[in-house]
Structure 1
Amino acid sequence: MNACQETAEPAAHALPGLVQGPHGEPSALLRLALGRGPVRTAVVHPCDSPSLAAVSAAFRGGLIDPVIVAPRDRLRPLASAAGIQLNGIEIVDVPHSHAAAARAVELAAHGEVQVLMKGSLHTDELMAAVVPPESGLRTGKRISHCFLMQLPSYARPFIITDAAINVAPDLEQKCGIVQNAIDLGHALGLALPRVAILGAVETVNPHMRSTLDAAALSKMADRGQLIGALVDGPLAFDNAISVRAARLKGIASPVAGRADILVVPDLEAGNMLVKQLEFLSGAASAGIVMGARVPIVLTSRADSVSARIASCALAAVLAIRPVGSGHTKENV
């Protein structure tokens, strides 16, 4: 019996999937996003073909109402050479990527856009504009990243966090990371997500900090310091996702084998796990930054257009839309 077979559950108890139906039907995530309507999105410096193609596709598909913040003189030849139509998309002209990040954050802080989307600039450059307290985008929450993933060989989608923002989080930071992922699970329809705090082993080892943090986070959930989820750990990856592996190891847990959220010990472990699942197992993914005033789509330069569109769909589900807003658009 494989992992897919042994963890199959009714769709009502699973996160929305990212894969099209057998006859090309939109994914569950895309249907959920389209039901909310397009969201005003500042696209920061999309000065390469994949970024521009994703903006155009997400716009034409009804997911986002984009505002491109980038040097206009770079966009004109790029769009023309790639055969990408940007008619109907507003352009905010800025001299360079640093200015694009600053201006996009300003638009979000003033409520003129409800989502930020990274283009071809570096992650550090965009997040450096978001993180300072004076940006207007900080809240009392930890800023962290979540991947929603779906594998062809596994029955249910799941969330992995944090594989992109927090390098080596301590216990307090992990608490914020876990709560953000729980909040994402709630937003995607799970009333009580099951959270596995991952380690190399499923027992507490005083010499392995990740197992100590996992045990502490589990107890914090028991005491109401983490809200709205079943949390257990440490759990090794196999017994977090496989009922059979958990049973063979004698682990009695409502989370083991059925995790909706996988919390990695640090960024290195998470990044390697995500990329292995994508490039070796054919996983579909969507990524989002949580904890700021607006969702942030933080794409990788290696992401496909479909992955970028899925991330836009995730942001569209999370975004809070203003009532009765109107905008004047300027074309390239």
Structure 2
Amino acid sequence: MDWDKLRIFHAVADAGSLTHAGDKLNLSQSAVSRQIRALEEALDATLFHRHARGLILTEQGELLFDATSSMSKRLDAAAARIRDSEEEVFGELRVTTTFGFGTLWLAPRLPKLYEKYPDLKIDLMLEERVLDLPMREADVAIRMKEPSQADLIRKRLMTIRMQLFVSAGYLKTHDAPTTPADFSQHRLICQSASAAQVGAGASLVVQLMENAPASLLTVNNYFGVLQGVLHNLGIGVLPDYVAQEVPDLVRVLPEVESSDVPVYLAYPEELRHSQRIAAFRDFVQEEIVASRKQLKMQGKT
């Protein structure tokens, strides 16, 4: 099959227009149209439904577009590996993690990474949905459970737990709870049951609800939970690492916490030799070690 025709087909399918695809490829509309007709004749199939507003893929076109999309991602991965030099770290790195971890732990540390590698371009994708790394939806992921996808290199980074926090300001107007039964005098702030979250956090919330909190505020991510706590609205369920990032937080009911939540870093096997991946992996590990040392110095571990 003619690779050039496939490239043109992919551009047309992606743009939904012969004209827009031609602009992207620096080809005339008529040249693009001829290539598409030739490809349809070679395959003996109609790839597009044509109408006044543009082009829509047929069922056969959808099948071919899936194949060319996969090819494109593989070619991008190969190009990225070729561009990675043995000594320099540069170019785009697409990182995916959860909204909470990305906003509360990773993003505040990125200035250090950019200081070390100023030519690196981070595309930080905060998703509760697990992106498909082998299909190159992202280059590297940090997740709160071990990835199940095949062909991935995995590394366990650390273990976290969900714990209970209030703000220092909240304690100026409310008594700190001494037992879970005291929740009847406080508002519980937590992730909503319908939000994607780690099982350990959801189980802890179920346990806390048995104590009939006086009021409830649910949010669909931990950043929102943190904002509620900082605005003195009640007792929040938050990952333990947040306390180190936000000095105004005070832990309450230290005997109440979730089970362990493992944190994993993963990336495709084909990016094993990527200098950008290695730089990011090493940076995250170094930051975790530094955080542990800081906690020990503060006597929190």
Q: TM-score range by the shorter chain?
A: under 0.3
TM-score, normalisation: structure 1: 0.23
- Quick check: which one's strand share is greater? 2
TM-score, normalisation: structure 2: 0.24
